[in-house]
């Protein structure tokens, strides 16, 4: 029965449904997938007939309402719902109501099919059980936390160790250039070394800032996003409703989302304006970036949106994209933000 129902589910839902592997009849008694199949068969034999039987009664009632003008007027009076009909004229309003109710019955049929398909996928799809999925989620959270801790350690080491030493080296080279005559053979190599040291210091400062943007520490998320908007080549308005502080990982992820999204707007959208909305609820932070550009954004045509979705998923969030051809484009990111 379960195999047949998986095939039947494919008629309304083209997503694949994995069946459990056959490991013998005794193993079936200890598999969670087998007992979910039993639960589905019990549901199929109790709830489904009741639901479709009720729907059939509603269809018959609607047909009776529509056919009321033809049924009335005979030797025997007819009863529609709770009203006794004596003539076809009295049945006309009920027939009109039946015609108007027909689209609602079609929608109800779609809801019944969708509900049965959802239950079938929930019980018949042999995916890992809830315990395994929870463990995967916890392990991913641990990996992300360890990665963030290691990233902060590297940032401190570079900022407190390598960067001051490189600054001192640059100063020493500058002082050495003052002591070396301009016509000396060592003057030019020393000048090149000094310039390279300064460029390396700028590069190292950029690497340190890329690990965690200093704007977040200094201005907070709303201020850092406002600074991104001020630097954008496209006019950007910012609306922020952030009543409470957030975890560092959430702030960093949200900042990178806005930065990447505004970069895409400037490079690809052809927009004249954009808007960034930051809304913090009880359990999540919602980041929305909307522009009035040409639309048609497709993750398959580049790695920017895919990388952004991966970054959001690492923070246990999700990214939603609406970008019809002709625009507008809306990027919505939801990040868990528990107190």
Contact by Cβ (8 Å): 215, 227: yes
CATH class name, domain 214-336:
alpha beta
Using only the alpha carbons of the chain, give its radius of gyration.
33
Both structure tokens of 29 = 């008694």
Q: Strand 284-291's sheet: what is its strand order?
A: 236-241, 274-280, 284-291, 329-336, 318-322
pLDDT digits (tens, 9 = 90+) for 171-226: 888 888 887 787 788 788 888 888 888 887 777 766 665 566 777 777 888 888 89
Q: Please state, in angstroms and rounded to a whole number, the distance separating the CA atoms of residues 169 and 49.
A: 82
Residue ranges per structural domain of the chain: 2-127, 131-211, 214-336
pLDDT digits (tens, 9 = 90+) for 213-271: 777 777 888 888 898 888 888 898 999 888 888 888 888 888 888 888 888 888 877 88
Contact by Cβ (8 Å): 328, 294: no
pTM of structure: 0.50
Q: Please state, in angstroms and rounded to a whole number, the distance separating the CA atoms of residues 6 and 262.
A: 44
Contact by Cβ (8 Å): 244, 280: yes
């Amino acid at each position: 029965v379960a195999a047949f129902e998986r095939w039947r589910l494919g008629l309304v839902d083209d997503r694949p449904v994995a069946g459990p592997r056959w490991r013998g009849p005794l193993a079936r008694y200890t598999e969670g997938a087998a007992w979910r199949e039993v639960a589905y068969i019990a549901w199929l034999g109790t709830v489904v007939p009741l639901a479709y039987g009720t729907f059939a009664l509603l269809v018959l009632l609607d047909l009776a309402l529509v056919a009321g003008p033809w049924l009335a007027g005979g030797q025997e009076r007819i009863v529609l719902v709770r009203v006794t009909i004596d003539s076809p004229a009295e049945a006309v309003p009920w027939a009109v109501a039946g015609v108007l109710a027909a689209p609602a019955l079609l929608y109800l049929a779609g809801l019944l099919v969708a509900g049965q398909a959802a239950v079938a996928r929930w019980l018949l799809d042999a995916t890992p059980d809830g315990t395994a999925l929870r463990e995967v989620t916890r392990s991913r959270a641990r990996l992300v936390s360890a990665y963030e801790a290691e990233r902060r350690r590297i940032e401190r080491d570079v900022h407190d160790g390598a960067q001051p030493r490189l600054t001192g080296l640059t100063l020493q080279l500058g002082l050495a250039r003052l002591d070396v005559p301009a016509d000396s053979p060592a003057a030019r190599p020393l000048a090149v070394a000094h310039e390279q040291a300064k460029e390396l210091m700028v590069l190292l400062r950029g690497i340190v800032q890329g690990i965690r943007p200093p704007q977040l520490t200094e201005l907070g998320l709303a201020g850092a996003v406002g600074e991104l908007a001020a630097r954008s080549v496209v006019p950007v308005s910012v609306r922020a409703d952030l009543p409470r502080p957030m975890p560092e990982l959430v702030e960093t992820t949200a900042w990178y989302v806005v930065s990447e999204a505004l970069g895409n707007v400037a490079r690809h959208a052809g927009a004249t304006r954009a808007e960034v909305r930051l809304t913090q609820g009880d359990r999540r932070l919602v980041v929305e970036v909307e522009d009035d550009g040409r639309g048609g954004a497709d993750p398959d045509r580049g790695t920017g949106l895919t990388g952004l979705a991966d970054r959001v998923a690492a923070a246990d969030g999700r990214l939603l994209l609406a970008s019809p051809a002709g625009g507008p484009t809306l990027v919505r990111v939801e990040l868990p933000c528990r107190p």
